[in-house]
Amino acid sequence: MGSEFKNGGNEMIESGKELAVVAEKSKMRGWDLLLRVAAVAFSLAAAVVLGLDKQTTTVTLTLVPTLPPVDIPVTAKWHYLSASVYFVVANTTACAYGAISLLLLSANRGGKKRIAMTVVVFDLMIVALLFSSLGAVAAIGIISLKGNAHVQWHKVCSVFGKFCNQGAAAIGLSGVASTVFLVLVLVAILELHWKR
């Protein structure tokens, strides 16, 4: 009876260990999935916020000195600048890829190494894509906000305030998405390192 109890105890310890391993695995996967959902949400939000960015306002111009000044309607749209187009395309790509990777990893319950590895490699590509689009829009944003006297590019945010604020919000959202993708690659590298 003592032996049975001992065996039962061993079995309990073994199943406890297995549970801990499963819990640890699911915890890692849980973090990964949570980060991935955040990345999809933030890149989608960034693409939508800039993709819907449009402002029409009126500027008062004196065309002929002898006549009173006239109000002329002017419109700013996101697709007027190639950097914004690149930004929206990059964030849409990141969002779509993030969703596909979520499906792939959710379906990969068996933990096939090749699928997990492919996802990390594509995560890295998305990091490069998102950071380059972030740099492009931020550079244009700085000129829009401050202008540049050397090349005679005037600031446009003084006229299109709402347009610029929405653009800044999109940059912030994409900044979070880019950082989350970066963290996903970091976590994958550290995980691979620890598992060696």
Contact residue for a second copy among 17, 100, 142, 165 (CB under 8 A): 142
Long-range interactions of 186-191: CB distance < 8 A, separation 24+: 187/31, 187/32, 187/35, 188/116, 188/120, 188/123, 189/120, 191/28
Contact string 60-99 vs a second copy (x = CB under 8 A): ----------------xx--xxxx--x-------------
State yes or no: residue 43 binds a second copy (CB under 8 A).
no
Contact residue for a second copy among 33, 96, 105, 124 (CB under 8 A): 124
State yes or no: residue 113 binds a second copy (CB under 8 A).
yes
Give the nearest distance from C-beta 195 to a second copy in angstroms: 6
- Nearer CB in complex with a second copy: 64/151: 151
State yes or no: residue 21 binds a second copy (CB under 8 A).
no
What is the Cα–Cα distance from 196 to 193, expressed in whole angstroms?
Answer: 5
Q: What is residue 22's three-state secondary structure?
A: helix
Q: Determine the residue type at 2.
A: G
What is the Cα–Cα distance from 191 to 67, expressed in whole angstroms?
Answer: 72
